[in-house]
């Protein structure tokens, strides 16, 4: 039985955004794994739609440095509440 929590919409956005930027910048899973101090397998699990592995909030600064962006670029835009 898998006890990992399901990815939220924010998790899914982050995973896709990292994957997109990684591809655009030509950063391999191995290079990203090295920057995050995780295994290549971990990155593969995160990027697999069948797996529940996800990036943790504490990884945001390292992700931003590795992808040469602001950490806020990795998060979905804020939705303003409407009255």
Q: How are the residues of the chain apportioned to helix, strand and coil, as percentages rounded to the nearest 5?
A: 55, 0, 45
Q: What is the CATH number of the domain that holds 54?
A: 1.10.260.40
pLDDT in tens, 5-32: 567 889 999 999 999 999 999 999 999 9
Question: Is 51 inside any structural domain?
Answer: yes
| 35-to-23, 27, 79 alpha-carbon distances in Å | 16, 11, 31
Q: pLDDT band for 2, please (50, 70, 90 cuts).
A: low
For the stretch 37-57, pLDDT in tens is: 999 999 999 999 889 899 999
How many domains does the chain divide into? 1
Among 21, 80, 24, CA closest to 55: 21
Is residue 38 a part of any domain in this protein? yes
SS3 call for 16: helix
pTM (two decimals): 0.85
**What per-residue confidence (pLDDT) applies to 8?**
86
- Tokens 């919409």 identify what position? 9
Q: Identify the band that residue 1 occupies on the pLDDT scale cut at 50, 70 and 90.
A: very low
Assigned domain for 40 exists: yes
Domain encompassing residue 24: 9-68
Higher pLDDT, 23 or 80: 23
């Amino acid at each position: 039985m898998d006890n990992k929590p399901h990815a939220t919409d924010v998790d899914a956005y982050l995973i896709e955004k990292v994957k997109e930027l990684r591809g655009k910048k030509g950063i391999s899973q191995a290079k990203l794994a090295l920057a995050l101090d995780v295994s290549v397998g971990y990155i593969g699990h995160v990027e697999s739609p069948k797996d529940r592995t996800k990036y943790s909030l504490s990884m945001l600064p390292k992700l931003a440095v590795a992808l040469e962006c602001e950490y806020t670029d990795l998060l979905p835009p804020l939705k303003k509440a409407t009255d």
